[in-house]
Amino acid sequence: MTDFSQAQISADADLPVIRITRDFRATPAQLLTAHTDPELYIRWVGPDRPATYRIDYWDARRGGSWRYTGVSDGTEYSFYGSFHEITDDRIVQTFTWEGMPDGVSLETLRFEDLGDGTTRLHAQSLCDSFEDRDAWLASGMEVGVNDGYAKLDALLAAGEV
């Protein structure tokens, strides 16, 4: 794969699952830190648009929970979830957008060490239904995913992770 600019986003034909794959010039430990350190996470998450983000709470441990809020054009939107597992190469968590509070997804992020300082992120989101999955896909989520990962690339290149 080794396309460092775009995430591959796909929907499973038989399950309400979204899969995202993206390569990074980083170690698994760096990607784990970028996903669990709230001060780093808030610097790269989300689309490139005039918005500010804040961490409302963040407890990155098994059984811990998290919530962050974005503000754009005076409108707030928040996301929250719970951490179920954090290991050296994997995070399992729930993810909910408060605008669709009944649509909880179970996310598994796996960091595959490809060698030479390169890691492949495998993310899988199991949604409650095909309708919820398709709503996420239709929301323009690929913009937020790709813009966010580009910001993460910049943090990695600058040695900030």
Question: What are the sequence ranges of the domains in the chain?
Answer: 8-156
pLDDT digits (tens, 9 = 90+) for 61-88: 999 999 999 998 889 999 999 999 999 9
CB 81 within 8 A of CB 101: no
**Which residue spans within the chain are E strands per DSSP?**
8-11, 17-24, 52-58, 65-72, 75-87, 90-97, 105-115, 118-126
Q: How far is CA 73 from the centre of its chain?
A: 23
Decide: 119 and 28 in contact? Cβ < 8 Å: yes
Are 24 and 118 a contacting pair, CB within 8 Å? yes
DSSP class of 128: S
pTM over cut 0.85: yes
Place domain 8-156 in its CATH homologous superfamily. START domain (3.30.530.20)
Tokens found for residue 64: 């811990």
User: In 3D, which of 100, 68, 62, 103 has the Cα closest to residue 83?
Assistant: 62
pLDDT by position in tens, the chain (length 161)? 556 778 999 999 999 999 999 999 999 999 999 999 999 999 999 888 778 899 999 999 999 999 999 998 889 999 999 999 999 999 999 999 898 878 899 999 999 999 999 999 999 999 999 999 998 899 888 999 999 999 999 999 999 99
